[in-house]
């Protein structure tokens, strides 16, 4: 038995949800470029869960369900108010989603119908939880969700407490489409491992949030913004990156386990970052990002991943960096739950082996002789 570090190249399951072949990402056979340009996030979530794009009636039903389920229990809001104000936002989200199960009478119902309903509920409630965490941390009261609007609009509305402008809604909606699923990434794998024991969907999503939190995965978008803030002005960018590379530090938002020639999602976020900067009449954040990309790609050949330009996009949408990874979760919960439903269908427990590298032939030594 020989271990493959990081399971690189190991095919651990079959899946018909999303694929990455020769650097091309598809959801259910639809190219991400096509979806990013034309589809709403709700259409994409439906596609991931049910394997086809919804017709008008199916989309309306999903939009209604998402609206109907969006409110979170008062008891959960009270609980969030008790979290320390400086709690890491992903840690708060992980705890809140775990608690959410306690208030769902169907939490342990393992029927397919109940699990599909819980997938939609989780999708509806994650944005409400994230907005509530953000507002409570700022000493404000949470804003109740608005009926009949998209996930993107509702999230921005609950976060800001006022109607967001159309440009922001569109940009966030497209970012949600781009982050919705990504084959067997670390958090999705974590969710599948958890539910393959026949544990419940809330446990699967809680595991996934824990995995997404790390800076080598979803947490990278927050780390990118910290880096851009440290750089500060464009004249500092090249020197800052050269120093980091010399120190053999990782540059957040670059590199990918699967894409070695570039992440197909990055170009959409780059375009969005430029457009938002143009609209504000200040492209400095975008300009610094481009110079960082040129330097890292020029020196190391590493290309930006989905997290790199999402940092400048969210910042230009007026979103604080602590919310970047939770926003990733708001989108990816669609993919996690689609994978969880797929895992339940024809499940087998996921239990690989380890190559043992420890001591052998040890003999027990009584405590008094140690
Ligand atoms: N900055 C500097 N060097 C890097 C980076 C980076 N961002 N990424 C990879 N490298 C280097 C590695 O150090 C390694 O160099 P070496 O051969 O001299 O040791 C080489 O490139 C190959 O990289 P691996 O470590 O084999 O890449 P791996 O597949 O294990 O990791 C990962 C992929 C985690 C994404 C890595 O590129 C990384 O840490 N990037 C920064 C964090 C990040 O942006 N994560 C988000 C990924 S996308 C997502 O999860 C949503």
CATH number at residue 62: 1.10.580.10
For tokens 């999903």, name the residue.
Answer: 62
Which segments of 249-331 are extended strands (E)? Answer: none
Question: Is the same domain home to 325 and 270?
Answer: no
CA distance 350 to 7: 14
**CA separation, residue 128 to residues 92, 95, 100, 151 (Å):** 13, 14, 12, 10
Both structure tokens of 192: 């599948």
Q: Give domain status of residue 196, yes or no.
A: yes
- The secondary element (H helix, E strand) that includes residue 21 is strand 18-21
pLDDT mean over 236-264: 95
pLDDT at 1 (0 to 100): 85
Catalytic annotation present for 109? no
The pLDDT assigned to 260 comes to 87
Percent of the chain residues topping a pLDDT of 90: 99
- Would you say the CB of residue 256 lies under 6 angstroms from ligand 1? yes
- Residue 304, beta-bridge partner list: 254
The answer to whether 291 and 236 are in contact (CB under 8 A) is no
User: Is 310 buried (19+), middle (13-18) or exposed (0-12) by CB count in 10 A?
Assistant: buried
> Across residues 54-77, what is the average pLDDT?
98
Mean confidence (pLDDT) of the chain: 97
Is this prediction's ipTM beyond 0.90? yes
Report how far residue 89's alpha carbon sits from residue 134's, in angstroms, rounded to the nearest whole number: 8
75/180 same-domain check: yes
Q: Check if the beta carbon of residue 172 is closer than 8 Å to that of residue 155.
A: yes
Verify that 242 and 280 share a domain, yes or no.
yes
| Alpha carbon nearest to ligand 1 atom 12, residue | 250
Q: What is the largest CA-CA distance in the chain?
A: 76
C-alpha triplet 134, 169, 325: angle, nearest 5°: 40
Task: Tell whether 152 and 266 lie within a shared domain.
Answer: no
207 and 242 part of one domain: no
Which atom of ligand 1 lies nearest, measured to the CA of 308? 44
Proportion of the chain above pLDDT 70, given as a percent = 100
> pLDDT-based confidence at 28, cuts 50/70/90?
very high
Buried b or exposed e, range 23-56, using 16+ CB within 10 angstroms:
eebbbbebebbebbeebbbbbbbbbbbbeeebee
Looking from the CA of residue 250, the nearest atom of ligand 1 is 1
User: What mean pLDDT is predicted for residues 201-207?
Assistant: 98
Phi, psi angle pair for 19, to nearest 5°? -140, 150
State whether 204 and 282 are in the same domain: no
Number of compact structural domains in the chain: 2
pLDDT tens figures, 208-229: 999 999 999 999 999 999 999 9
Residue 205 and residue 107: Cα distance in Å, rounded? 12
- Domain of residue 264: give its range: 219-317
Active-site residue identified among 256, 268, 321, 339 = 256
38 backbone φψ class: left, alpha, beta (φ>0; ψ -120 to 50): alpha
> Which CATH number fits the domain that encloses residue 245?
1.10.230.10
**Has residue 268 been placed in a domain?**
yes
pLDDT at 336 > cutoff 90: yes
State residue 65's pLDDT score: 98
Q: Does the beta carbon of 250 sit less than 6 angstroms from any atom of ligand 1?
A: yes
Ligand 1: atom nearest CA of 217 is: 50
* Strand 18-21 with 24-27, pairing: antiparallel
Residues in Cβ contact with 365 at an 8 Å cutoff, skipping those fewer than 6 apart: none
Nearest CA among 45, 109, 97 for reference residue 73: 97
Residues 340 and 292 grouped into a single domain? no
Q: Is the pTM of this model over 0.95?
A: yes
Q: Report the distance separating Cα 89 and Cα 329, nearest Å.
A: 11
Task: Give the pLDDT of residue 280.
Answer: 93
**For 331-358, what is the mean pLDDT?**
98
Residues 147, 355: Cα–Cα separation, whole Å: 53
Q: Is 256 an annotated catalytic residue? A: yes
Predicted pLDDT of residue 136 = 97
Q: Is the predicted pLDDT of residue 274 greater than 90, yes or no?
A: yes
């Amino acid at each position: 038995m020989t271990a493959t570090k990081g399971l690189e190249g190991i095919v651990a399951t079959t899946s018909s949800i999303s694929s990455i072949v020769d650097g091309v990402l598809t959801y259910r056979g639809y190219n991400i470029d096509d979806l990013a340009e034309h589809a709403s996030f709700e259409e994409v979530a439906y596609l991931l869960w049910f394997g086809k794009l919804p017709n008008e009636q199916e989309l309306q039903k999903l939009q209604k369900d998402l609206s109907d389920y969006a409110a979170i229990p008062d008891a959960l809001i009270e609980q969030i108010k008790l979290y320390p104000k400086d709690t890491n936002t992903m840690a708060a989200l992980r705890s809140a989603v775990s608690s959410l199960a306690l208030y769902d009478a169907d939490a342990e119902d393992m029927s397919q119908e109940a699990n599909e309903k819980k997938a939609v509920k989780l999708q509806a409630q994650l944005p409400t939880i994230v907005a509530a965490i953000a507002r409570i941390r700022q000493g404000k009261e949470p804003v109740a969700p608005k009926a009949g609007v998209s996930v993107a609009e509702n999230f921005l509305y609950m976060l800001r407490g006022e109607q967001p402008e159309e440009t922001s809604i569109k940009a966030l909606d497209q970012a949600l489409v781009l982050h919705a699923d990504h084959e067997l990434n670390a958090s999705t794998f974590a969710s599948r491992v958890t539910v393959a024991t026949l544990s419940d969907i809330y446990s699967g999503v809680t595991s996934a949030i824990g995995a997404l939190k790390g800076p080598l995965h979803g947490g990278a978008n927050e780390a990118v913004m910290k880096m851009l803030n440290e750089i500060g002005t464009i004249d500092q960018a090249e020197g800052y990156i050269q120093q980091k590379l010399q120190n053999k530090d990782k540059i957040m938002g670059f590199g990918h386990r699967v894409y070695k020639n570039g992440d197909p999602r990055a170009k959409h976020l780059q375009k969005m970052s430029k457009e938002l900067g143009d609209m504000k009449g200040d492209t400095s954040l975008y300009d610094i990002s481009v110079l960082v990309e040129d330097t890292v790609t020029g020196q190391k050949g590493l290309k930006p991943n989905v997290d790199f330009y999402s940092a400048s996009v969210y910042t230009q949408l007026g979103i604080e960096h602590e919310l970047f990874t939770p926003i990733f979760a708001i989108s990816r919960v669609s993919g996690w739950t689609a994978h969880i439903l797929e895992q339940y269908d024809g499940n087998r427990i996921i239990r690989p082996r380890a190559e043992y590298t420890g001591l052998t032939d040890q003999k027990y030594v009584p405590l008094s002789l140690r």
